[in-house]
């Protein structure tokens, strides 16, 4: 994925797209922090909410990979299961770091 293609797809100019992506990364890192804390406290509701926020924002930027991961996490937490959450958080962290790398380059 490169910024140029994404910007086109989202009907934004590259600079705005970059700005939004940077904001997305910042906010999502906060969501991840909340996710880890909620998972540590075995708080299903907290996990679901943070995942929901992440999912929504990812959907706005059409970042399908991150959106799907967040969606899986939210579904699991809503049905009371946190077992996949740790793995999903790891995957999300990696995806987000990748994205941050793309933006920086």
Partner 1 sequence: MSKKIFIVDNHPLMLKFMRDLLEKEGHRVWTAADGLGCLELLESTRPDLIFIDLVMPNIDGEKLCRIIRSRPELDNVRLVILSAIAAEESIDVGELGADGCIAKGPFNKMTRHVLTAVALTERKEKKAGIEVLGLEDLYKREITAELLSAKNHFQLILDNLEEGILEINSEAKIVYANPTAIRLFGVPEARLLASCFRDYFRDSARTAVEQLLEGNKPEAGAVEKPLELKNKRVLLKVLPFTEGEASSSIVIVTDVSEKMRIQARLQQTQQMEAVATLAGGIAHEFNNNLLSVTGNLELLEMENQGQQFIEEHVRPMRRSLETMARLTGQLLVYAEGGKGQATVVNLADFIEYTLPLVRHTIPPSVQIKLETAEAPLYVQADYPQLQMVLSAAIANSVEAIADKGRITISTRRVTLDKQALSGRPGAAPGEYACLCVEDDGQGMDETTRRRIFEPFFSTKFAGRGLSMAAAYGLIRHQGGWIAVSSEVGRGTRVDIFLPAQPA
DSSP SS3 for 46: helix
Distances from the Cα of 68 to the Cαs of 15, 30, 59, 71, 95, in angstroms?
Answer: 26, 18, 9, 5, 11
Least Cα distance to 98 among 15, 6, 2 occurs for 2
- Cβ proximity to partner 1, 62 vs 97, nearer residue: 62
Binding site for partner 1 (CB under 8 A): 9-12, 16, 19-20, 23-24, 27, 34, 48, 53, 56-57, 59-62, 71, 74-75, 78-79
Least distance to partner 1 from the beta carbon of 47, Å?
13
Least distance to partner 1 from the beta carbon of 38, Å?
10
- Cβ proximity to partner 1, 14 vs 27, nearer residue: 27
Least distance to partner 1 from the beta carbon of 75, Å?
5
- Cβ proximity to partner 1, 61 vs 69, nearer residue: 61
Write phi, then psi, for 80 (nearest 5 degrees).
85, 5
Q: What whole-number distance in Å separates Cα of residue 37 and Cα of residue 6?
A: 32
- Cβ proximity to partner 1, 19 vs 97, nearer residue: 19
């Amino acid at each position: 994925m490169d910024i140029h293609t994404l910007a086109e797809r989202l009907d934004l100019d590259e600079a705005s797209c970059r700005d939004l992506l940077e904001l997305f990364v910042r906010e999502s890192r906060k969501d991840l922090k909340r996710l880890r804390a909620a998972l540590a406290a075995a708080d299903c509701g907290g996990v679901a909410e943070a995942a929901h926020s992440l999912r929504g924002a990812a959907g706005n930027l059409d970042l399908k990979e991150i959106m799907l991961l967040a969606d899986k996490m939210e579904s699991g937490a809503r049905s009371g299961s946190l077992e996949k959450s740790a793995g999903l958080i790891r995957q999300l962290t990696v995806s987000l770091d990748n994205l941050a790398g793309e933006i920086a380059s």
